[in-house]
């Protein structure tokens, strides 16, 4: 399965501020996926190549059952689209807008990645909790309509908030991540305008300033931490 997204994401070391968590949750604390259980994955990184990334799903947490096999994921950056700016003053937000293609497969296995040379690839273990908010789109520039589980409307835009701990040479590094994206197929000519419109609308009320220096893709951020 292949999906295309245009997205912007930030990573910040330390604990998530309560004010930001409540803003993301629409006034309440975020609804963390899988009842708040932290999931463990591994990312396979190739030094010097933050345009690609591999995610290897970890084991099912004890006491949980997975309805279907978790797919392995390969992602490739298709284009860097420049900075996106939302808001002004202390609440201003700026980040790198990027276009990504993702392929997922339930057929791959961890041993498939072992064919890569040991000196050119590194596994980085992470644990995380994730909250997502999906939206449908009423037109080229919105309105963006929140979707609930079970809604039949196409899911076209998503906001993600994650608590992430990365295992590095110096020990675990806790951080949090915020990302917004428009999601569609390869031929979707409106994806760029959807991404910019959704970033503008969703992030307009963000209570925290988000800096360009903190804006990374997952492969770039993990590579930066893993080599620190």
Q: Is residue 55 part of a domain?
A: no
pLDDT at 90: 46
**Structural domain of residue 208, as residue ranges?**
2-40+81-98+126-226
Work out whether the CA dihedral 194, 190, 160, 13 comes out positive or negative: negative
Question: 3-state SS of 146-181?
Answer: ECCCCCCCCCCEEEEEEEEEEEECCEEEEEEEEEEE
73, 103 contact by CB (below 8 A): yes
In a domain, 68, yes or no: no
pLDDT band at 20; cut points 50, 70, 90? very high
Residue 24's pLDDT band, with cuts at 50, 70 and 90, is very high
Reduced to 3 states (helix: H, G, I; strand: E, B; else coil), residue 208 is: coil
Q: What is the pLDDT of residues 152-165, one digit of tens each?
A: 778 889 999 999 99
Per-residue pLDDT tens digits for 34-74: 555 567 888 888 878 889 888 888 765 555 555 455 678 88
Residue range 89-123, pLDDT digits in tens: 445 788 999 999 998 876 655 555 555 545 567 88
Q: What are phi and psi of 15, to 5 degrees?
A: -85, 150
Q: Distance between CA 91 and CA 223 in Å, rounded?
A: 29
In the chain, the percentage of residues whose pLDDT exceeds 70 is 80
Measured over the CA atoms of residue 116, residue 122, residue 128 and residue 132, the dihedral's sign is: negative
**Residue % of the chain over a pLDDT of 90:** 31
Is residue 115 included in any domain, yes or no?
no
More confident residue, 84 or 221: 221
Provide the number of structural domains found in the chain: 1
Does residue 20 lie in a domain region? Answer: yes
Q: Is residue 183 part of a domain?
A: yes
For position 89, what pLDDT does the model report?
Answer: 47
Instruction: Let me know if residue 66 belongs to a domain.
Output: no
Asked whether residue 49 is assigned to any structural domain, the reply reads no
What's the mean per-residue pLDDT of the chain?
81
Q: What is the mean pLDDT of residues 21-42?
A: 76
**Cα(190)–Cα(193) distance, rounded to whole angstroms?**
6
Q: What DSSP letter does each residue of 55-102 carry, written as one string?
A: EEE-PPPTT---SSPPPEEEEEEEEEEEEEEE--GGG-EEEEEEEEEE
The model carries a pTM of 0.86
């Amino acid at each position: 399965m292949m999906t295309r997204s245009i997205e912007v994401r930030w990573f910040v070391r330390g604990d998530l501020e309560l004010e930001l968590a409540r803003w993301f949750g629409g006034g309440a604390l975020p609804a963390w996926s899988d009842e708040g259980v932290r999931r463990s994955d591994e990312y396979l990184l190739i030094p010097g190549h933050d345009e690609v990334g591999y995610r290897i799903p970890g084991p099912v947490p004890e006491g949980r059952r997975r309805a279907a096999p978790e797919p392995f994921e390969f992602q490739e950056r298709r284009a860097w689209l420049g900075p996106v700016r939302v808001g002004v003053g202390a609440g201003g937000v700026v980040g790198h807008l990027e276009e990504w293609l993702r392929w997922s497969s339930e057929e791959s296995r961890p041993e498939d990645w072992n064919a890569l040379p040991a000196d050119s690839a590194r596994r980085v273990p992470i644990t995380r909790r994730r909250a997502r908010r999906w939206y449908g789109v009423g037109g080229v520039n919105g309105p963006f309509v929140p979707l609930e589980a079970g809604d039949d409307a196409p899911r076209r835009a998503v906001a993600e908030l994650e608590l992430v701990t990365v295992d590095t040479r110096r020990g675990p590094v806790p951080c949090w991540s915020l990302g917004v994206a428009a999601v569609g197929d390869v031929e979707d000519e409106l994806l760029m305008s959807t991404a910019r419109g959704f970033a503008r609308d969703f992030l307009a009320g963000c209570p925290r300033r988000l800096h360009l220096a903190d804006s990374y893709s997952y492969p770039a951020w993990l590579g930066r931490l893993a080599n620190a």
